Structure 1
Amino acid sequence: MRLRTLLVAVTATLAAATPPAAATGATPATPPGTPAHACSPSVALTGFSDALDKTTYADTFVGNLSALSVDSGGRIAALSDRSSLFTLDRKTLRPTGVTALADEHGAALDSEGLAVDRDGTRLVTSETEPSVRRYSRDGRILDRLPVPDSLRVAPAGRATSNLTFEGLTLLPGGRTLLAAMEGSLSGDTPGVVRFQTWKRHGEHFALAAQYGYRTDTGLGVSETAATPDGRLLVLERGFRAGYGNTIRLYLADLSHAGDTSRVDILTGQADVRLARKTLLADLADCPSLGARARQPQPNPLLDNVEGMAVTGARHGRLSLLLVSDDNQNAAQVTRLYALRVRLPHHPAG
């Protein structure tokens, strides 16, 4: 299956075929200095690929992809929420390996978040409990991180099933791990979600600060990725039947946010200071580049985007790779997106 358009990751130029200009339609007028294929003044779409859609590798369905992370040698680790972890070639984004994951009893995971540690171990979340486990490259469980009781799925805790650890990222330096809840805890103000962190102690991680983050109305957090300066890229996602997906990319700053780990009911008002966020782009505003949707969408480029990785960074400019989760559904697509992002200045203090 040929690639629909030129897809560029910062680590390499990917093999792709560029559609003729007539296939992409006219590019809307943009302000001076705004990059071509702009989604906003800060974000440009480099390209997309449907090459992995409804394919198999080593008798494993290549889909249900919920998370991405850069692996050794620039390769891409792509996590399926059906307990499979794929390795993708950094140039072609084709699978070159797959590892089966399981819990301590050999049962499948609802695997949603992924971070590859500096020693090559894989940190993987499961939404079921929720949990974070450390795996070796060959899929052996090495460790399981502690999780606050309040973040567990009810009745053990206050979380809602399928709305727990959706995003996972290591902050610069690799000493702090952050997991993002997709939805609010019972009792917290709807739309205010919690980001849990852990600090590294030797080979293990111990519970650390927790932060609050307010999503847009009707949206949840589908992924987070740390920027080189310690801020967070946050994907917010929603779906409405007959309309389609809303996908927004935000930049969040935790530097002045309060620790919510001892705040029982989080209202987002006077109880604690939430993370500040800045909208970088609504992906519905990106050029479609000839993409086709299989169900109603505000932009045919959109689908159920769940995974995101920073594939390169230089002087405040990032290259991102995003992926959509097709849910193994004929009406959805496994689509990879390449974006260029210019980060706003990080204020001092």
Structure 2
Amino acid sequence: MRMRTALATFTAALAAATCLTAAGTAGAASATGNACSPAVSVDRFSDALDKTTYEGSFVGNFSALAVDRDGSLAALSDRSELFRLNARTLQPTSVLPLADEKGAQLDSEGLVIDRDGTRLISSETEPSVRRYSRDGRILDRLPVPSSLLVAPAGRATNNQTFEGLTLLPGGRTLLAAMEGALSGDAADTVRFQTWQRTKGDHFRLSAQYAYRADKGLGVPEVQATPDGRLLVLERGYTTGVGNTVRLYLADPRRATDTSGVENLTGRPGVRLIKKTLLADLVDCPSLGATAKQPQPNPLLDNIEGMVITGRDRGRLKVVLVSDDNQNTAQTTRFYHLRVRI
């Protein structure tokens, strides 16, 4: 997930974060005994940051994670704040407020840390993608197709736009995942928009792809794997039942460019992004977790952020985080997974 020499940089970033662990965790155990599926196991979870504050800021509402250049963990709050967390303890070490060009808060949802330390951050309000300096100054704003804008400007539904953001190996292609379908598209089909890097680290619009989510689920996060495929989170919530969270491996490399397709309603000749289920997280061991509201597995919550932090014995080390919405019935919870792709 970096630039021209990105595969090497991506590998270096993973190696730098391989030590990621969490003090104050619950349910620690070996991955082999904690299988969610043949491809996914859960090492441990941590509720250490739930309902805490740091320098007057509420620590929570997390929507995205990234590994910074120094190996620390960046955690993005959808309330327009970017936290730096100690990679070992998860404790905050700094917080940076973010704003748009007029000084207003973002509904910040997706996060990429580029090779030079700049931050690419998506907001689902418009939606938008902006480049920020390390100290929070806006450097650039990426173009967005008019159809992806929230109605009435476009065909997107409010709160169903850019949730996932990732930089593909090689560092030249940025990809954003819409959470929900556009008006006129099939209800289970969401669009993945890409940009290509140009001189000066600007980005121009590029191909767009179609991804079919499971019925009733949306896409809150997407992360590129070192081989150019994608880890895709699908998530939903049913009142009185709880959350559904599934992890898929997706391959966009043979999918049709749908940027010129107005309506995605099962048109012949349109090849969707191919996906393979890695795990339904309801099948993970609960590890002694407790839930504040009904859940089909007490380990589950409103999982929204995901980052690949390293490798171990042929498996990717993946950290997930839930968005507690600053709600007493939800929990800020970090999950440490091992994923074989």
Measured against aligned partners, the alpha-carbon deviations of 1:132-188 in whole angstroms (never above 9, x if no partner) come to 000001100000000000000001000000000000000012111000000000000
Q: What's the offset of the Cα at 1:20? A: 8.0
For residue 194 of structure 1, give the secondary structure of its aligned residue in structure 2. strand
Q: Residue 214 of structure 1 contacts residue 268 of structure 1 at CA under 8 Å; is this kept in 2?
A: no
The match for 2:151 is 154
CA distance in 1, matches of 2:18, 2:136: 26
CA distance in 1, matches of 2:269, 2:325: 38
Q: What's the offset of the Cα at 1:317? A: 1.7
For residue 12 of structure 1, give the secondary structure of its aligned residue in structure 2. coil
Task: State the TM-score, normalizing by the size of structure 2.
Answer: 0.92
1:328 and 2:335 aligned: no
CA distance in 2, matches of 1:10, 1:133: 25
CA distance in 1, matches of 2:170, 2:35: 31
Q: Is the alpha carbon distance of 1:292 and 1:280 closer, same or farther for their aligned partners in structure 2, counting shifts above 3 Å?
A: same
For residue 114 of structure 1, give the secondary structure of its aligned residue in structure 2. strand
CA distance in 1, matches of 2:22, 2:232: 28
Picking from 189, 193, 210, the partner of 2:190 is 193
Measured against aligned partners, the alpha-carbon deviations of 1:194-230 in whole angstroms (never above 9, x if no partner) come to 0000000021000000000000000000100000000
Measured against aligned partners, the alpha-carbon deviations of 1:285-315 in whole angstroms (never above 9, x if no partner) come to 0000000000000000000000000001367
CA distance in 2, matches of 1:269, 1:13: 44
Q: 1:36-185 alignment to 2 at 5 Å?
A: 36-185=33-182
Q: Is the alpha carbon distance of 1:92 and 1:183 closer, same or farther for their aligned partners in structure 2, counting shifts above 3 Å?
A: same
Picking from 237, 240, 249, the partner of 1:239 is 237
Question: Would you identify which runs of 4 or more consecutive aligned residues in structure 1 move more than 4 Å?
Answer: 17-21
Q: Is the alpha carbon distance of 1:306 and 1:17 closer, same or farther for their aligned partners in structure 2, counting shifts above 3 Å?
A: closer
Q: What's the offset of the Cα at 1:316? A: 4.7
Seq. identity, %: 70
Question: 2:128 corresponds to which letter in structure 1?
Answer: S
Q: Is the alpha carbon distance of 1:336 and 1:190 closer, same or farther for their aligned partners in structure 2, counting shifts above 3 Å?
A: same
Q: Is the alpha carbon distance of 1:93 and 1:17 closer, same or farther for their aligned partners in structure 2, counting shifts above 3 Å?
A: closer
Q: Residue 169 of structure 1 contacts residue 226 of structure 1 at CA under 8 Å; is this kept in 2?
A: yes
Q: Residue 17 of structure 2 contacts residue 71 of structure 2 at CA under 8 Å; is this kept in 1?
A: no
Q: Is the alpha carbon distance of 1:18 and 1:295 closer, same or farther for their aligned partners in structure 2, counting shifts above 3 Å?
A: closer
For residue 188 of structure 1, give the secondary structure of its aligned residue in structure 2. coil
Q: Residue 192 of structure 1 contacts residue 268 of structure 1 at CA under 8 Å; is this kept in 2?
A: no
CA RMSD of aligned residues (A): 1.7
Aligned residues: 325
Q: Residue 101 of structure 1 contacts residue 108 of structure 1 at CA under 8 Å; is this kept in 2?
A: yes
The match for 1:12 is 19
